Amino acid sequence: MEAVYAGSFDPITLGHASVIERAFKLFDRIHIVVANNRAKSHRFTLEQRTELVRHSIQAEFAARTVITPFEGIVADYINANRIGAVIRGVRNATDLEYELQLEQYIRHTTAAETVYLSPYTQHMQTNSSLVRMFFQSGKHELARQFMCPDAFDLALIYENGA
C-alpha cells in the first residue's frame, strides 16, 4: 500500500525523518509531498525544501520514496495518485486536535485513511519553527542537532546564499 506524508518541511527535522522511518514499517511506498502553503512565509524555497527532504531520506528507503514539490490541495494529489493512506505526525495533544480537523477534510475529499504516527521519543519536542528560529538568529550549531546531517549541511549552504 502507498501512503502520503505531506507538509511544508521548512525545514525537515529529525522528527519528520523519524515519522518517515516508522511509516516504512507499515507502507510499501511513501509519497512525501512538499507543500507550498502560500499563507506561510517560508525560510526555504519549495525547491530547497524538496532537496532538504531528499537529503534526509535514508538510503535504504530511497527506492520506496517519491518526493514531490506540490502547489495545490494535497487531496488532489492523493486522488490523482490513488493513494490509500495519509500519514500525519503527532507529538502532543495540540497536534492531535489540529490533525483531527484535517482528517475530516481528508475523509470528505478522498478515499484515503489517516494514520497517526509519533516521532521517536528523542524527537518529540523537535519542530521546524524551532529550527527556523535558530537559523534566523544565526545559531546554526543549535539547528544542527535537530536535522539530518546531510540536510543540515545543505541548509547551511542555502543560508549562505548558494
- 16 assigned binding-site residue: yes
- 118 assigned binding-site residue: no
- 123 assigned binding-site residue: yes
- 161 assigned binding-site residue: no
- 42 assigned binding-site residue: no
- 91 assigned binding-site residue: yes
- 9 assigned binding-site residue: yes
- 53 assigned binding-site residue: no
CA torsion angle 67 71 76 81 (round to 10):
-20
- 24 assigned binding-site residue: no
- 65 assigned binding-site residue: no
Task: Give the Å distances, CA to CA, from 9 to 42, 47, 70, 104, 107.
Answer: 9, 11, 12, 22, 23
Binding residues for ATP, by number, are 8-9, 16, 89-91, 99, 123-129
Known binding-site residue numbers: 8-9, 16, 40, 74, 88-91, 99, 123-129
